[in-house]
Amino acid sequence: MDRGLMDVRRIREIGNWGHASEHIGRRWEELGLSLLPRRLGETKLWEPYGYQPSQFLPILAIDDIQEELSRLGLPNPDVVLVGADHDSDTVLQALDFKWTIEFASYRQIRAEALLGLLAESTPHLRAGLAQIAGSLDGHCLWRDGVLFAPDSYENRRFLSSPENRRQEYPIDPSEVVFESVDGVSFFGPLPGWSFAERLAQLDRAQGVIKTLEGAEKYYRLGAGILGAVHQMKTSIFDEDSSPLEAEEAWLLLRSVVRVPSTAAFVEYVGSKMAMRQQHLTRLQALTSSPYRFNDLVSDLAEKGIIVPERAEKGRTAPERWRWIEVHKQIIAEHRAHIVRTGKKLAEHGKSDAEILAILERDGRRLAARARAVAQRLIGASLADATIAHEPDRS
């Protein structure tokens, strides 16, 4: 790897070792919600849209609405703006907070997407909008939405890029509300920032980290390397370990990397993460239940119980759903047993590679155990159904 250069995509990959994108996304949503009221008052900003928003419904911050929309699995915006045009007609417009507009989906903010959500069973969403917009059954104008994004070089570059033009719905500059952001203030509260500052100091890049782009680069690298060192010191079977302190990670890296630099740290932890990924792939194969849903269907058939395929219009029959849920329990019990066994072996000093080899050699016994668990859960489900159908003799 060229120690002097790392492209944007590679930096994002490294950051994901420490969930940098998730931290950034949540921080931008929180900051966006606090900044939005001020931006709504900027009349010139909204003149191209032909109306002036005065209120908004923060969909992303209302639990009842989020639960409602998650069940539907349909694209939805973070916010719905509500205002009036020059004719005093009510206007509704979607808005989505996006730190990197390259990953924005215009489908989320199209007027049709919002209308599609309201056409479904979404009483909490309808009630929230009606509270600030009045009746939704009257004359409302639904506008395609906007993205709320930081004013960064990468976002500006993407708007004029071939990648954007190739999209089904290319994003136009008029569809983005840009916000100036101070990088140090934005990234400072996030986990991993202190490690990022150490990396910048090590690389003699204290000036670079003061820019938005430099702060983002070093934050992603800092969060990623810190996350990687934590994983290096943690068994893949330990799912509840506490985060590693920056000081401990720093001392570890300085002790094993001959010529310390950010690029050298990335090279070192990258090889360790590649090995860990191989271990996780093997673990995923082990935790996949050897008792398949087709096995369950066959075992039920031997008991004279036929699991229906599909009901009318492609919908899954209730009786099939019942056995799908039983199979999910079988899968969960198998996975829990694998993880529990691996954790015990790790506590006795076995390495992840040794534990995986032991479990892989034990495949026949694990398969027999999964079948025994299945028979127990099938019996319990049949017993519950029998009790439910017995007449009340009291």
Averages of pLDDT over each 10 residues, the chain, 394 residues: 64 96 97 95 90 94 92 88 88 95 89 88 91 80 93 95 91 94 97 96 95 96 96 90 88 94 95 96 96 96 88 66 94 97 95 97 96 96 72 52
Q: Would you call 287 exposed, middle or buried from its count of C-beta atoms within 10 A (0-12, 13-18, 19+)?
A: middle
Q: Is the pTM of this model over 0.95?
A: no
Alpha-carbon torsion, ordered 321, 323, 325, 326, to 10 deg: 170
Q: Which pairing describes strands 176-179 and 140-150: parallel, antiparallel, or unpaired?
A: parallel
Q: Would you call 195 exposed, middle or buried from its count of C-beta atoms within 10 A (0-12, 13-18, 19+)?
A: buried
Please check whether residues 216 and 310 belong to one and the same domain. no
What confidence score (pLDDT) does residue 4 get? 39
Please check whether residues 55 and 154 belong to one and the same domain. yes
Q: Report yes or no on 9 lying in a domain.
A: no
- Last residue of some domain: 148, 181, 214? 181
Q: Report yes or no on 14 lying in a domain.
A: no
Least Cα distance to 52 among 39, 64, 63, 68 occurs for 39
**Kind plus residue range of the DSSP H or E element containing 56:** strand 51-57
How far is Cα 207 from Cα 225, in angstroms, rounded to an integer? Answer: 21
85 touches 91 (CB < 8 A): yes
How far is Cα 93 from Cα 109, in angstroms, rounded to an integer? Answer: 8
Angle at which helix 212-232 crosses helix 20-40, to 10 degrees, equals: 150
Q: Report yes or no on 166 lying in a domain.
A: yes
Phi, psi of 336 (to 5 degrees): -60, -40
**Kind plus residue range of the DSSP H or E element containing 344:** helix 318-347
Residue 79 pairs with which residues in a beta bridge? 95
Structure tokens at 175: 């569809």
Q: Report yes or no on 256 lying in a domain.
A: yes
Please check whether residues 125 and 212 belong to one and the same domain. no
Q: Report yes or no on 190 lying in a domain.
A: yes
Q: Would you call 10 exposed, middle or buried from its count of C-beta atoms within 10 A (0-12, 13-18, 19+)?
A: middle
79 touches 146 (CB < 8 A): no
Q: Report yes or no on 322 lying in a domain.
A: yes
**Cβ neighbours for 142, distance < 8 A, ≥ 6 positions apart:** 91, 92, 93, 111, 114, 115
Please check whether residues 173 and 191 belong to one and the same domain. no
Domain that holds residue 116: 41-181
Structure tokens at 165: 């033009």
Q: Report yes or no on 25 lying in a domain.
A: no
228 touches 254 (CB < 8 A): no
Structure tokens at 66: 């989020």
- Last residue of some domain: 115, 150, 181? 181
Please check whether residues 112 and 242 belong to one and the same domain. no
Please check whether residues 122 and 217 belong to one and the same domain. no
Please check whether residues 85 and 122 belong to one and the same domain. yes
DSSP 357: H
Q: Report yes or no on 20 lying in a domain.
A: no
Please check whether residues 314 and 378 belong to one and the same domain. yes
Please check whether residues 204 and 319 belong to one and the same domain. no
Total domain count, the chain:
3
Please check whether residues 200 and 246 belong to one and the same domain. yes
DSSP 107: G
Please check whether residues 259 and 246 belong to one and the same domain. yes
147 touches 98 (CB < 8 A): yes
- Last residue of some domain: 251, 277, 303? 277
377 touches 330 (CB < 8 A): yes
Phi and psi based region of residue 374 (left: phi greater than 0; alpha: psi -120 to 50; beta: remaining): alpha
Please check whether residues 214 and 266 belong to one and the same domain. yes
What's the CA angle centered on 315, arms 309 and 320, to 5 degrees? 40
**Kind plus residue range of the DSSP H or E element containing 13:** helix 8-15
